[in-house]
Chain A
Amino acid sequence: MRFGIVVFPGSNCDEDAYHAAKDVFGQDAEYLWHKDTHLKRADVVILPGGFAHGDYLRTGAMARFSPIMKEVAAFAERGGPVLGICNGFQILLEAGLLPGAMLRNRSLKYQCEHVHLRVEQTDTPFTCAARPGQVLRIPIGHGEGNYYAPPETVARLEANRQIVLRYTDPQGRQDDASNPNGSVHAIASICNERRNVVGMMPHPERACEVLLGGVDGRVIFDSVIRALARGPEKPALLEVGRPV
């Protein structure tokens, strides 16, 4: 299968995502320049971390105007799996492909550290290889990861089971001290209602090799490879939640 990794001016995790897909998982991978108007037959699209277009106005604010985003939106509309990591998550929010917005971390500091995440939902193409409640240790690196949405939107996310990962302690218990940025309901990752578009602040591509200090990020890549092996754009995507 082929990963399409979008490169905006200012992206800086594109090579990490490419390396994970190509070298760690042995999949095809292609860079997609932000001015491209086609996805090079990608089966899954990753919006990587970084500072797209410099993030001068707001994080991710200008990237949605890049030509490639029309294609990404159409791909998502067709049910194609899209993963936004860190700045990619911020871009998905600004583009309206996911609900909510990011505020400055409550510490006002750029937080660069390993965090623990509890897998809340396994019926997305990016978590279907995980166990419900599984705790992952994956690094974050962001200054604006304080997820916010109006209370009615958060209630809808909860009701629709769209909160995919939450910040917890190493035992999977949710407490304020384990929330690195102040995100509402300790949200680290959400999906859209159709569940094929996922945004996450932590960096799974930085946690795929022992050399880098952990391999808990592998399950995100394993998931989408497994989901697509079962056939793209089928209701089956919604049924792969039970681990084999």
Chain B
Amino acid sequence: MRARVFVTLKPSVFDPQGKVIADALHSLGYDGVADVRQGKYFELDLAATETDAAKALAAEVADKVLANPVIESYRIEVD
């Protein structure tokens, strides 16, 4: 199975990269873009064949390694 892990800074944490990208978009005339948050995206190819097991493993990896819980949160999709 494949797990997709989206890691983003928590809403309360300032994102310097997102801010610069938003400013750049505004300077290009994209005034309709209110804000930008930059994050990381991981694809995990898993040996698991059941959704629950795949989700559990992806969550463990995200908790222990992929995300820093002090500043980041994550979302997982499995298929």
Contacts and interface: CB of A to CB of B under 8 A. Distances in A.
Given A57-B65, A150-B12, A104 B17 contact: yes
Contacts of A107: 16
A148 B68 contact: no
A192 interface: no
A105 B13 CA distance: 13
A106 interface: yes
Contact of A58 (B13, B17, B20, B68): B68
A interface bracket (residues with beta carbon within 8 Å of B): 20 to 34
B71 A101 contact: yes
B17 A100 contact: no
A65 to B, nearest CB: 8
The listed residue with most B CB atoms (<10 A of its CB), out of A61, A100, A103, is A103
Interface string B40-79: 0000000000000000000000000110101100000000
A212 to B, nearest CB: 30
B30 interface: no
Contacts, number: 37
Contact of A101 (B16, B20, B65, B70): B70
B70 A149 contact: yes
A108 B68 contact: no
Contacts of A57: 65-66
B20 A108 contact: yes
Contacts of A58: 68
B16 A108 contact: yes
A94 B70 CA distance: 9
Interface string A91-110: 00110000111011111100
B70 A100 contact: yes
Contact of A103 (B12, B16, B65): B16
B16 A105 contact: yes
Interface of B: 9, 12-14, 16-17, 20, 65-66, 68, 70-71
5 contacts: A57-B66, A58-B68, A94-B68, A101-B70, A103-B13
Given A101-B68, A103-B16, A150-B12, 4 more contacts: A62-B65, A101-B71, A108-B20, A146-B16
